[in-house]
Amino acid sequence: MRAFYRLADLLNAIPYALIALFLRIVVARPFFISGQTKVEGPTVGREVFGVDLSMTLPTSLRDAAVDLFADEYKLPFISPEHAAYLTAGLEFLLPVLLVLGLMTRVSALGLLMITMVIQLFVYPDAWGSAHAYWVGLLLVLIARGAGGISLDSLVVSRVSSRIGVSPDANRLLG
């Protein structure tokens, strides 16, 4: 039994800041990749240690993105053109903010809303897919925040020191 307590103590010692950073990177990736398939523009970045860190800077929307929303997704209450532009923009911006840990709770909430639209209107029978995992990861970030390895943490510490208030990092950042 002592071994289990020791293991629990070791696991409890893992800083939430590291866990949150990992969650932010993992959950941002599929949304960012999806957004990249919808846009055209110059490619920047390169491969580093065998990892492709290149990305397309969006300058225009691919025609195929609008066709996808018109023919397959067919969202109610929004035109395919507007849906394609909105989704491409959000799938570019929100994952970047999430990885940086800037406006983390708002970014995670935005990605959660995208996930729910996909789940409810596009693939309503896909609850056993990655969507359920995305929801779980995003809910942790919404509930607990970015953690200490984030721009949110830096902003809170700078602002609180300027106005002479001690930041309650547990409440604001997790």
Helix (H, G, I), strand (E, B) or coil at 125: coil
CB 43 within 8 A of CB 154: no
What's the token pair of residue 167? 């930041």
Report pLDDT digits (tens) over 18-74.
Answer: 999 999 999 999 999 999 999 999 999 888 888 888 899 999 999 999 999 999 998
Separation between Cα atoms, residue 58 and residue 47, nearest integer Å: 20
3-state secondary structure of 147: coil
In the chain, domain spans: 15-172
Q: What are phi and psi for residue 33, nearest 5 degrees?
A: -60, -40
Residue where the block lists tokens 């547990």: 170
162: helix, strand or coil: helix
More confident residue, 166 or 151: 151
Helix intervals (H) in 13-126: 16-36, 63-68, 80-100, 104-117
